[in-house]
Amino acid sequence: TVVDPAAGTGTLLLRAADASARKTGPELRLVGEDISAAACATAENRLRLHEIDADFRCADALTRTTLEA
């Protein structure tokens, strides 16, 4: 699992998926979070264009005490 608590446009998750695709092993779970709804939508659409499945939440990682899986 790769969690990006400040996903922005999703670059970290995109790179993690690219790196994972070159290796064998269990499927990688990608989770992105951002306080900006526009950033969440942009990142989600960007990964979808690359046919990468990821979960996104629009939330403030600094005020949340736990990350729900």
Q: Which residue has the higher pLDDT, 13 or 67?
A: 13
Q: What is the mean pLDDT of residues 35-48?
A: 94
Q: What is the mean pLDDT of the chain?
A: 89
At 9, list the tokens. 């446009």
CA angle, 22 then 25 then 8, to 5°: 60
Tokens representing 25 are 């092993």
Query: Residue 27 corresponds to which tokens in the numbers above?
Result: 């499927």
Distance CA 36, CA 29 (A): 22
pLDDT tens digits along 19-41: 988 887 778 899 999 999 999 99
More confident residue, 69 or 35: 35
Check residue 65 and give its pLDDT: 59
| pTM for this prediction | 0.83
Q: Which token pair is 59?
A: 């939330």
